[in-house]
Amino acid sequence: MRQLAVLVLLVAPALASAQASREVSAVGAPAPVVYDVDAAPAYYVTERGVALREAPHENARTLATLRTRDGVRVLAEDGAPADGFAHGWRLVQWGETRGYVRAGTLSNVWIRVDKSERMTYVYRGAELLREFPADVSVSPEDKVRRSGQEELEHYRIPEGTFFVTRLNPNSSYYRAFVLSYPGPAHALRGVRDGIITQAQYEAIARADREGLEPPMNTALGGLIEIHGHGSGRQRAWTRGCVALRNVHMDELWAYVEVGTPVVIEP
């Protein structure tokens, strides 16, 4: 899965800037930080159809078109225009291709939810930025299928690696980030166990490949969110979602974009 590969990049030890080479100019001012590919900070693309260009301007030849959640390495930071930083551009490596993308189309923020701790953690690369107490579902088990409307103990938070498909500023629960459940792993288990059809599995897998919101009308369920109206007291009451205090959702709102990876652990 592409989002899992991106997440591995984000938390890799190669994020350490000690491996970067920094030169000092004759007047003593620091020159741009230029990274080797293996040591370069990892980011992911936050928009659809981002042009990877041969030079840092809009008229430059397009080398490739990147999709939401594609992972790249940023090769130059804090540099002059030729180094891909100034004027809102970044010099990046995407697979074997090196080129320039607009800085505003990249992020390295990701979220980790620990169900047993009832905590939500926000990272920028390997750096922990914030942590929030979370309300969770009554059942601690992994989600397998759609829950019954009246059986609160059957509602479960799915486990695995997901991404934010949509930001809802007008949620019934204040604000919400819709997650990409069901993902390919849950769909594969579902088709294997006879819960969904092969066609439904293929539709879910295709949505994941294309960075789109998956079908949520199958027997696997859907509409799993991180949303507001949480108590801040780490209670168990939700219908399969993660609930934070509204003030914490306001903080998180500033960090999260479509494509932000979310890891949910048991």
> Annotated active-site positions, please?
227, 241
Distance CA 20, CA 36 (A): 7
3-state secondary structure of 233: coil
Tokens of residue 2, six digits? 């592409």
Distance CA 7, CA 109 (A): 10
CB atoms within 10 A of CB 57: 11
Ranges of H-type helices in the chain: 2-11, 184-192, 198-209, 246-253
Q: At what angle do helices 198-209 and 2-11 cross, to 10 degrees?
A: 40
